[in-house]
Amino acid sequence: MNIEEAFTSYERIRHRLPTATLRGSCKRLPNLDALADKMDVFLLDAFGVLNIGDTAIKGVPERVAGLQNAGKRMIIVSNVGGFPHADLMAKYKRLGYEFAPEDVITSRKAILQALHKAPPLKWGLMATESLGRGDIESFDISYLAEDATTYDQVEAFVLLGSADWNETRQALLEATLRENPRPVYVGNPDIVAPRESGFSVEPGHYAHRLADQTGVVLEFFGKPFDNIFELALSQIVNMDLARTVMVGDSLHTDILGGGAAGLKTALIAGYGFFSGHDVAGPIAASGIRPDYILERP
C-alpha cells in the first residue's frame, strides 16, 4: 500500500473516527526542541516519531533525553497492540530511549483494561503467536489460524497484530461473523505503519473491511479513540491541556485523536507517514489541521 492508497483508506472510514473539532494554525517549526518553551508534556507516537521499524530516527534519542533532563514529561502513546509490554520496554532501551514503564501507553494497555472488565469469555485472537502471551496469560484465548472450527467456537474476537494474518483467515473471520455476530475488540486501529521498506498493513485495515463486509459494530482501542488518551492523561498530575502536545506522523490517528482529546498537536512532516511528500494537500483534503508542523522529531 502506498501513501495515496493509505490516505484514501483513512478518509473512507472517517465515519467511524472521532470528529475533527479543533483546527490548528499549522505553524511550521524545525523539531521538538522548538516546542520546549510552550509545552510541559509531550505525548509521542512511536513509529514515525521515535523509530522507523526497528531503527531509531537519527538524533531523536538525544533530543528526547534532553527534553527529559529539562523536566519535560515524555510519554509514548502508540497503537502497538501486538507486542507484550516487557518486549516494548526492551526495544526502546535498545534504541537508546529511557522511558519508565508507566510512561509507555499502548493500545494493548487500553484493550487490556476493557478485557479485564468484560465478562469471562472464550476469545479468538488475531496476533503473532511467536511473540507469546505476555500480558494476556489470564484470558481464555485461542489463536486464529486456518481451522474454521476455532472461529465458530469462540465467543468474541480480539485483533492485536496482523503480521501473520492472511486472506484465508480474513475470509474465515468474515464468514463466522456473518453467520453468528459476536463482539470484536480491535487493539490497533492503524491501517498502516511506516517501516524501513514502506508501509506495513495493520489490524485496522482488516477490522474496517470486517465491519464493511459483516455489519458488525467493532470496538476500537487506541488512537484516535478516547480510551488511549484517557489512559495516558491519567498518568499526569496537575495537567494543563494547553501545555500538552500529541506528536505524531499521522493525521487520522495522532492529530485527529489528540485534537479530539483537547490537546495541542504536532505533525511530523519529514518522517513516517508523509516522508518525502508534502503535507499541505492532505491537510486541506482531510480538514485535520495540527497546531504545529515539525520537519523532524
**Domain coordinates in residue numbering, the chain:** 3-108+226-294, 110-220
- Judged by phi (left if over 0) then psi (alpha if -120 to 50, else beta), residue 76 lies in beta
Label the pairing between strands 264-268 and 41-44. unpaired
Out of 3.40.50.1000, 3.40.190.10, 1.20.200.10, 3.30.450.40, select the CATH number for domain 3-108+226-294.
3.40.50.1000
CA distance 266 to 283: 12
Give the three cell numbers for residue 157. 474476537
Query: What's the number of CA atoms in the CB half-sphere (13 Å) around residue 37?
Result: 2
- For residue 106, the one-letter residue type is T
Q: Could you read off the pLDDT tens digit of each residue along the chain, which spans 297 residues?
A: 888 999 999 999 999 999 987 789 999 999 999 999 999 999 999 999 999 888 999 999 999 999 999 999 999 999 999 999 999 999 999 999 999 999 999 999 999 999 999 999 999 999 999 999 999 999 999 999 999 999 999 999 999 999 999 999 999 999 999 999 999 999 999 999 877 777 889 999 999 999 999 999 999 999 999 999 999 999 998 889 999 999 999 999 999 999 999 999 999 999 989 998 999 999 999 999 999 999 999
Residue with cell 513516517: 272
- pTM of the prediction? 0.95
Please count the other Cβ atoms lying within 10 Å of the Cβ belonging to residue 179: 10
Query: Which numeric CATH code is attached to 110-220?
Result: 3.40.50.1000
The SS3 call for residue 277 is coil
Label the pairing between strands 55-56 and 51-52. antiparallel
Helices assigned H by DSSP within 239-290: 256-260, 280-286
Q: Are 27 and 292 in contact (CB under 8 A)?
A: yes
249 burial (CB, 10 Å; 0-12 / 13-18 / 19+) is buried
CA distance 132 to 121: 20
